[in-house]
Structure 1
């Protein structure tokens, strides 16, 4: 099938992938009087007295804003907010299909951090959570940080944290397959943007100690003049041996490679230079850093990618619906690191240890056990860490 041609045909037919529906009958004068005036005044006044009741008397408690500025849309880059709308609608459709969470796209015509933050801040009272999507680094880091400081509902940048959760889940199981421990392996991450940074930090929270992060100009190491402030901060927390050089230099003898970067930047020779029983997650999309079959041929034991036509697909849809489902169910004020790790462990645990293999380290996106398992773990840890309202 030519997916591009079919997508154009179907998007024109659908005229959007989401719809607004109403659960209330509107077929009589009594119906109208309860759903609208005069009866609607009663819930309005209750919310006026206690804004928290907006979660009870409106759809807010199950409604997420999917927010973008259109600057980092899939593999297309800065195509603008209107052009990003099909992706945002698709995200909303995934929320609904996989976790019964309602979501609505908010595409903002600005690249100014403060304008975007203020826009989201002003509309936040209509939503139970904010999902930031396809916003370029490093602007995405600042937007997320400021919104977390100002809002009392979850703010979650899926390109960072969704990718991190699924990658960590896959890594938990991959390490079991190869018989290695997280605190004893050496890892290399290529790509110091949103996904690479978040994956590195969440893996370190899991116990990873020896990790080097690379960007286009080489390994992040304190003192390198070319690094951005965000990269310099990451360099201080990683690269314990203070390695310098190119990706080809630092990947030698590494147990793990994770790529969130550019097509074809890893060669077979680079994989051959890694330690035995190597794990390679090449997640650049649609063309990975190295194709799985090439990595396997070069000696990698476990491989994963972002592609749906390959085994071990590392796909954000595995986690963000369940994470928001769990956060919304307890009216969480935020999604913290403990909740992300709980989500990763729950996702990894979907596959029984007896069924783990080199080609089965992460469940299918269509496994109906995934979202409930993640939601339950996230809700439990939200209560344990004191960020749940109920």
Structure 2
């Protein structure tokens, strides 16, 4: 049964102040003295300090806690190329998640520009304002060129969540699924349905985890990606098999892992039964997976099944990644987000899934028990401990890999995050209560 009706969703976005985000002063402005310090003439003092020492921008402005969520609306969720105006509700929603889960402020920027070179130039021009750039809902293959160029030419973290978010969260689940099933990542056979940005980035990430690229059988809408095809872009060519091995049904025979980022109802019970048991199935098509949880379990009761849905075990949800990755990167003033930081994020999530689950999380999900095993290989997205595990892991990796501008006391950092989030949640509750809105 749906959690809400379309009308309820529209009311949520339109009631009270329109939309989901608002700019709120962080300093008082109720007296003449406040006004004089906030703007002219007092603001000149901080301007001159920054002109003298650019690093002071982190002391006197919000740059160090401000992320731009930027999209041109060319690949919005499952809606396709609906343009930047129609994409704005999604970008506002992303801002809500950044604030609610990691106390990061966001401006959403919806850009009317589909030309990659012009888009790149525009994003580079706003670098002085932001501590990080979260690219969102940009179609492939342009998204690869855009992100790679911006990472190379900007001096702040740039992260395309549509690529790396699913990769990192599913990678965490894969680590634990392999441990439970006793399989070695270097030996497994993986079949992937989908050849877009998410699928390609997932496979790149799995390779960085130790999976040989030749063990990946990737399918797009035209079939298996193999070297005999003349229609492959450079990103798909990375995963081209030497020969055409046939259909998904053919290659699933004996496969250890299925990764789905395509369309619903692609798999059936017989295809699951043909896999090497226990099968690992991450069917992440939204809103309906390539095979339902119940169908997969009926075919292989011991399989480890994950989807993008919250109403089944092992939800692969990007909100378990991007807020905390940026939190860790911002807190050490990182110049970027590299593979070490992404791997650290995945490993921290995998490790957290092995910890005892607090009663408050069980109550939030309406269950009596939750423990590491086939139906719990990824922490729940609403687990408040994620920020305390993932952000420090990312920050530590940034420091160790040389991307951090500043160090951090890791012993106290975890506790400071817990305190920060408690204070942030209190402010958000008080703010919402002030409008007397009941959603």
Q: TM-score, normalised by structure 2?
A: 0.85
Aligned equivalent of 1:264: 265
1:216 matched to 2:229: no
1:134 pairs, out of 131, 137, 140, with 137
- The count of corresponding residues between Structure 1 and Structure 2 is 386
C-alpha distance in 2 between matches for 1:149 and 1:5: 44
1:53 pairs, out of 53, 56, 63, with 56
1:166 pairs, out of 127, 146, 169, with 169
TM alignment of 1:17-36, pairs within 5 A: 17-36=20-39
C-alpha distance in 2 between matches for 1:156 and 1:180: 31
Distance 1:153 1:141, change over 3 A: same
Provide, for residues 198-237 of structure 1, a one-character-per-residue CA deviation record: whole Å limited to 9, x for no partner: 11111111111222222122222223213223212332xx
Retained in 2: the 8 A contact 1:332–1:387? yes
1:148 matched to 2:164: no
How far off is 1:174 after superposition? 1.2
Structure 2 segments unaligned to the other structure (5+ residues): 357-370, 407-439
C-alpha distance in 2 between matches for 1:173 and 1:3: 36
Structure 1 segments unaligned to the other structure (5+ residues): none
TM alignment of 1:55-70, pairs within 5 A: 55-70=58-73
Q: Which runs of 4+ in 1 moved over 4 A?
A: none
Aligned-partner SS, 2:67: strand
1:294 matched to 2:295: yes
How far off is 1:243 after superposition? 5.0
Give me the CA root mean square deviation. Answer: 1.4
How far off is 1:242 after superposition? 4.5
1:179 matched to 2:182: yes
Aligned-partner SS, 2:278: coil
C-alpha distance in 2 between matches for 1:346 and 1:4: 36
Retained in 1: the 8 A contact 2:200–2:235? no
How far off is 1:279 after superposition? 0.5
Retained in 2: the 8 A contact 1:214–1:247? yes
Provide, for residues 24-51 of structure 1, a one-character-per-residue CA deviation record: whole Å limited to 9, x for no partner: 1112121112221111101111212232
Retained in 2: the 8 A contact 1:165–1:202? yes
Q: TM-score, normalised by structure 1?
A: 0.96
Aligned equivalent of 2:250: 249
1:329 pairs, out of 328, 331, 346, with 331
C-alpha distance in 2 between matches for 1:63 and 1:2: 32
Retained in 1: the 8 A contact 2:171–2:206? yes
Retained in 2: the 8 A contact 1:252–1:273? yes
Aligned equivalent of 1:196: 199
Provide, for residues 303-348 of structure 1, a one-character-per-residue CA deviation record: whole Å limited to 9, x for no partner: 0000111111000000111000000000101100010000000011
* 118-127 vs 218-227, greater mean Cα deviation: 218-227
Aligned equivalent of 1:232: 237
